[in-house]
Structure 1
């Protein structure tokens, strides 16, 4: 599900940028920022890099456990934290700032997008986006995890809202409790 959401978001941002910037086809990338040895990856000019930095479970309506007595699972809503960064190549910092501004404009105009509009599976009702302004120390820690060098960037929390479908587990059901577990 996460890959589908990130790929659909990649396509939507590329479509949005196509109307604002020249030659943006293939410039929105899903990637980490460093290789397995911690060395920064080399990117081409004018790339926007989307990096998954965290996954959380969204607690819905106060429910904290995942099963009900009849063996049916409650929906598993996720929050994913995505870092959008623009590596500036050969000192093209001004262009990097334009791309980050365009990205923020995209999310300001699309604070919630129905899953069907992005071509996502029917169990994903919608995605909602929230800009997250991290404090300086938090940003320093995050960039330390991603190679240590700051790039023009924006951090967004993406809520993945799913429909309540039957996600019954094939084995390991809790039986005989007679009441819902919350």
Structure 2
């Protein structure tokens, strides 16, 4: 599910950026890859593109207390592990090597901000590329302070690039097989039937 969610975001953002830039190019502007490799030997390959990179995954603990039982019919229930709800953090960065590239990077970051301001929720209704198993994704700007930003870029092993970080909420993972069970219809305590 995580890959499908990221690819849907990438596709929608890429479509928006190609229309916003209107330079006649059909080459993808957004690349889904590990930002830690952007400054390596293949740095030229990712210059002037939006590098979209997953930087963290966390569990949504407020929705953790789901029921372990689901009513199948009037006489049967299913035992199933509760769904796992995830939040994940996606970094959008642009590798710029000179002044012209830097100005283009600022334009791309502005367009990324504009896209998510316009479309802060991806659902089946407004995003045809979203996997049918994903109900919706809520995307919100995450603004780390300077210390957190320093730690993030140090962890990624690179120098700071023009970037913006978003928190994507409510990805539901439910990949368990239910176990059949029957309803309790009576209880015996000792020799007394209730």
Match of 1:100 in 2: 109
Match of 1:122 in 2: 132
Equivalent residue of 2:92, what SS? Answer: strand
More displaced 10-residue stretch of structure 1: 138-147 or 73-82: 73-82
State the number of aligned residues: 168
- Distance (whole Å) between structure 2 residues aligned to residue 149 and residue 142 of structure 1: 10
Match of 1:75 in 2: 83
Match of 2:94 in 1: 86
Q: CA deviation at 1:24?
A: 5.8
For 1:1-182, what aligned pairs fall within 5 Å after superposition? 1-21=1-21, 22=23, 23=25, 25-35=27-37, 39=40, 41-42=42-43, 43-61=45-63, 63=65, 68=68, 70-91=78-99, 92-115=101-124, 117-162=127-172, 167-169=175-177
Q: What CA deviation, in whole Å up to 9, does each residue of 1:80-138 have, x standing for no partner? A: 10000011133321110000000000000011110452423322111110101100000
Assess if the C-alpha contact under 8 Å between 1:33 and 1:41 holds in 2. Answer: no
- Distance (whole Å) between structure 1 residues aligned to residue 160 and residue 91 of structure 2: 12
Normalising by structure 2, report the TM-score.
0.75
Runs of 4+ in 1 over 3 A off after TM superposition: 38-41, 160-163, 167-170
Assess if the C-alpha contact under 8 Å between 2:5 and 2:131 holds in 1. Answer: no
Assess if the C-alpha contact under 8 Å between 1:80 and 1:159 holds in 2. Answer: yes
Equivalent residue of 2:35, what SS? Answer: coil
More displaced 10-residue stretch of structure 1: 120-129 or 104-113: 120-129
Assess if the C-alpha contact under 8 Å between 1:49 and 1:85 holds in 2. Answer: yes
Unpaired segments ≥5 residues, structure 2: 70-77, 185-194
Normalising by structure 1, report the TM-score.
0.80
CA distance 1:120–1:46, shift in 2 (3 Å): same
CA RMSD, Structure 1 to Structure 2 (Å): 2.7
Unpaired segments ≥5 residues, structure 1: none
- Distance (whole Å) between structure 1 residues aligned to residue 41 and residue 94 of structure 2: 13
- Distance (whole Å) between structure 2 residues aligned to residue 137 and residue 3 of structure 1: 29
CA distance 1:146–1:62, shift in 2 (3 Å): closer
The structure with more helix, counted as a fraction of residues: 2
